[in-house]
Structure 1
Amino acid sequence: MDASQKAALVAALGRYKRLQDRNLQRVQEQHEENRKRRRAAILALLRSRRSTAPAAAAGGADWESLLNLDDHAFTRRFRLARHQYDFLLARLQEGGLRSEHSQGAPPIPAPKKLLMFLWFMANRSGLRALSAHFRVSQSSVHRVTHQVLTAMLRLAPDLIPWPDGARKRASAAAFRRVCGIDRVVGVVDGCHVRLQRPSERGGDFLNHRSYYSVLLQGVVDERGRFVDAFAGLPGSARDARLLAESHFYPEWPERMGEYLLLGDAAYAERGFPFVVAPARDDGTLGDAGRRRNARIGRGTGIAARAFGRMKCRWRRLRDLQTTRLDRVAMIALAACCLHNLSLGTFDVCQHYPHDCPRQDDDNL
């Protein structure tokens, strides 16, 4: 090999060495970048776990830590004050709610069952999220919510009580101050409970707002407290039909006596003798009639606000991802019970401080 060939070979080897060095440098830089990304991802995961530690404490053996939260934190999570939770738990346990074993798994204590149920009612997340949150199986979540729902409905006569004579007199005096109409002890109204399209007669459940729903009827007193509730008719029905087919209608002479309910214009078409409804304004209604309608409107607004607050606190009622009509009715009536129990817990709505319902809310 002559000198020129040696020089060419040395130059080629030099270029190859420089290419190898640059390639090795790129590999090292890529490795370092990947290491930094992995470290950043791990740190983000650790931060997220720390930030969700109170929620994760609900699961497994740590769920008891939720019972040690201060009153404000407990109420924000479960929508009931601690003393209201204790009262409800005691009543449910008296009614037969117990801890239980299931297929060799650790028992779910009654206090944890109630926490799971309140979380279920206060949020719109699915059973899978609730299962992960409390570290129980999805089948356990379904079974527990059904157990507590059943126990709640046994308490409904106590949590949604029809007023006695003294309570009626107090309500009549309060409504007279609100709207200037005598002998009124409550307001009757209805709202829609959204659900998935039922497989049978699904079209009957499509309401005038273009979603599928079941109707919930409530009678509320001057405090916005439910004194009667009924659910089950398809969303396409009118409020007047709902009242006529409810358990309340055949009992109204005994329940109402000399007293009256306020209702909106939907009840005027049937001419219920115990419902004071606004007159239709077809252009001939005089000033006196308009003033009377305005007074009725001040009273009926109490029911609209009660439904709005109930759906704001117990958000499960805003969209039930089920087609089982019996379960829809159970959840709706349980929400009315919880609404009554939670009255006074939120003096101002956390999410909508200018009162419920919101003017743009079509889920009522």
Structure 2
Amino acid sequence: MDVRECVLSAGRAVLDVVEREWQPLSPGELEQRLDQAVEQILEADLMAPLKARPPPAGGAQPLRSQASAEPQVLPPETCVSPPEEETPEPREPMEPVDSAAVKVSYITDLLQNSESRARMAGRARLSLSHTVLLSLTLLSERVSYRSVSRRFRLEKGNIHRIFFSFCERLNTLQEKQIRWPVGGEAVEALSPLCRPDKEQEEQRGVPRVLGVLGHTRIPIRLPIGKHDVESTVPEVKRMKMEAHPDSWLNLQLACDRKGRFLHCRTSRGSDVDRGGALRDKLEQQPELMPSGSCLVARAGYPLTAQILTPYSRSIGPREELFNEMLEEHFHILDQAVANLKARFKRLRYLDIGNYERARAVVLTACVLHNMFLDMGQEVQGDVEKEEAVTGEVEVEMDDEGVRRRDAISDLLFKMFESGSV
């Protein structure tokens, strides 16, 4: 028997073993075996670094004390190294292990205790904490599904299902996490319109600011049906000449002085509405605005008794002073948006051609933004120039809004002349 026959014989033997082991399995049994193998590998990778760590000094208590508590997890960077053939992107300094573990544990507990107890899609045996860790990895890092697939030892298709199921589950928490302040909470959220102390402003009739209204754009992949396939101009050149309005998603936000989102609305890029829905809601429910309060927004939003916008025409010393006072508040929203995009880097470009899925991902990031602020987990992002939307014209100005803005600008100018501002 020559070498070739030996190799063929060995190959046939291996095939026979594989066929005897796997061929008789039904699809359900095969899926179950794969689930078990994936779970064992994943838990071994997550637990190995923890076992190597020395016990915490002072007998610190574990984060979770339930009898069936899941293992504490580490940031995904510490689990599996990136594949050698891929050049890892430069990363910012990794957050402390305890910080990442607290986030995963907090979100896991919140989802377990929420009313939405529907099972999330994905591997049958993938634990909830691992699902949260995987989803946070996709949101927080600009990594491909392929890279995450290798890191978590799961196929790409299953990662898609797990991630979007997680986003749908987080979206059900929107009303609890992104809520409009009322009562004492609203009064506590108020901030001065200008520099003087609160009592001086109130005595002179200057309103206090409940929140800052504005928007940003989230680039998304253009749906296939939107491409102009008949055009003879190369696609890259077409994109540079004029971006399709549906190649981004509009994210409208209102935040308080701490950068916490009070209002969140997403729409297609072709939707040119600016604050119309919120304006109507505030007019129909005036109790949402504490007495002597207002929202501030940049030009392009409706000027009403509840929403004050800067002057864009007939600019004089009085109008310039008023615009300067508002600009200080606009920086709060710009910084909040910068922090959102710094924490969730996937928002810099969503490679998703489905609007509803892109919307779910963006809303998930906004919900998590407020959750992490409540936990004291803050991230400082760099404000980009494009965040400050300028040069837009006011779309609506009702008479009451015009009168109130003029009265406030007169008060501020008198205070400035007297040296109070």
TM-score, normalised with respect to structure 2:
0.60
Which of 100, 107, 116 pairs up with 1:88?
Answer: 107
- How big is the shift at 1:157? 1.2
Paired position in structure 2 for 1:136: 154
Residue 256 of structure 1: aligned partner: 289
Task: Show the counterpart of 1:185.
Answer: 210
Alpha-carbon offset, residue 175 of structure 1 = 5.0
TM superposition shift of 1:174: 5.1
> Among the aligned pairs, what percent are the same residue?
21
Aligned to 2:251: 216
The count of corresponding residues between Structure 1 and Structure 2 is 287
- Equivalent position of 1:38 in the other structure: none
Relative distance call for 1:208 and 1:183 in structure 2 (3 A) is: farther
Query: Which aligned pairs between 1:272-311 and structure 2 lie closer than 5 A?
Result: 272-280=304-312, 282=313, 284-311=314-341
Q: Which has the higher helix share?
A: 1
CA–CA distance in 2 between the matches of 1:143 and 1:333?
17
2:146 counterpart SS class: helix
Q: Name 1:197's counterpart in structure 2.
A: 222
The aligned runs of 1:303-342 (5 Å cut-off) are: 303-342=333-372
Contact 2:249 2:267 in 1 (8 A): yes
Looking at structure 2, the residues matched to 329 and 314 of structure 1 have their Cα atoms a distance apart, in angstroms, of 14
306-315 or 249-258, which deviates more: 249-258
**Alpha-carbon contact 2:334-2:387 (below 8 Å) kept:** no
Residue aligning to 2:233: none
1:130 Cα deviation from its structure 2 partner: 1.3
Q: What secondary structure sits across from 1:322 in the alignment? A: coil
Contact 2:252 2:266 in 1 (8 A): yes
CA-to-partner distance for each residue in 1:19-76, whole Å, 9 max, x for gaps? xxxxxxxxxxxxxxxxxxxxxxxxxxxxxxxxxxxxxx99463134573559xx9972
Structure 1 unmatched ranges of 5 or more: 1-56, 350-354
Alpha-carbon distance in 2 for matches of 1:264, 1:78: 40
CA distance in 1, matches of 2:378, 2:156: 31
- 1:360, distance to aligned residue in structure 2 (A): 7.1
Deviation at 1:143, TM superposition (A): 1.2
What letter corresponds to residue 195 of structure 1 in structure 2?
I
Query: Tell me, what secondary structure is at the counterpart of 2:327?
Result: helix
Larger displacement relative to structure 2 (308-317 or 124-133): 124-133
Deviation at 1:93, TM superposition (A): 1.6
**1:149 CA drift (Å):** 0.6
Q: Is the Cα–Cα contact under 8 Å of residues 187 and 303 in structure 1 kept in the other structure?
A: yes
2:299 to 231, 243, 265: 265
Q: Indicate if the aligned counterparts of 2:193 and 2:326 stay in contact, CA closer than 8 A.
A: no
Question: Counterparts of 1:216-235 in structure 2 under 5 Å?
Answer: 216-234=251-269
Distance 1:209 1:279, change over 3 A: farther
1:79–1:342: 8 Å Cα contact kept in structure 2? no
Partners of 1:120 and 1:316 within 8 A in 2? yes
User: Which of 377, 382, 394 is the aligned partner of 1:345?
Assistant: 377
Asked whether the 8 Å contact 1:196–1:320 carries over to 2, the reply is yes
Distance in 2 between the 1:287 and 1:89 partners? 54
AA in 2 matched with 1:315: K
Q: Secondary structure at the match of 2:336?
A: helix
CA deviation digits over 1:71-130, x for unaligned, max 9? Answer: xx997289965334322211112232658774xxx6100000000010011012222211
Find the structure with the greater CA-based Rg.
1
The answer to whether the Cα contact below 8 Å between 2:216 and 2:387 also exists between their aligned partners in 1 is: no
Q: Structure 1 residue 289: deviation in Å?
A: 1.3
CA distance in 2, matches of 1:324, 1:107: 28
Return the match for 2:168 from 128, 150, 166.
150
When residues 338 and 175 of structure 1 are mapped into structure 2, their CA distance, relative to the original with a 3 A threshold, is farther
Distance 1:173 1:187, change over 3 A: closer
Write the distance in 2 (CA, Å) between the matches of 1:305 and 1:186: 14
- Asked if the contact 1:194–1:213 (Cα under 8 Å) also holds between the matched residues in 2, the reply is yes
Normalising to structure 1: TM-score of the pair? 0.68
Measure, in 2, the Cα distance between the counterparts of 1:58 and 1:315: 28
Q: In 1, Cα distance between the equivalents of 2:253 and 2:384?
A: 19
CA 1:201–1:306 in structure 2 vs 1: closer, same or farther (change >3 Å)? same
Quick one: structure 1 residues 69 and 278, their matched pair in 2 at CA, closer, same or farther if it must change by over 3 Å? Answer: same
Q: 1:238-257 alignment to 2 at 5 Å? A: 238=272, 241-244=273-276, 246=277, 248-253=278-283, 254=285, 255-256=288-289
Would you identify which runs of 4 or more consecutive aligned residues in structure 1 move more than 6 Å?
206-209, 360-364
SS at match of 1:224: coil
Q: Which moved more, 1:128-137 or 1:252-261?
A: 252-261
- 1:256 maps to a residue whose letter is M
Report the secondary structure of 1:330's partner residue: helix
SS at structure 1 position matched to 2:300: helix
User: What is the rounded CA distance, in whole Å, between the counterparts of 1:135 and 1:172 in structure 2?
Assistant: 48
> Which stretch shows the higher mean deviation, 177-186 or 121-130?
177-186
Alignment of 1:52-67 (within 5 A): 59=42, 61-64=44-47, 65=49, 67=72
Q: What CA distance in whole angstroms lies between the structure 2 residues aligned with 1:208 and 1:257?
A: 46
Q: 1:126 to 1:60 in 2, by over 3 A?
A: farther
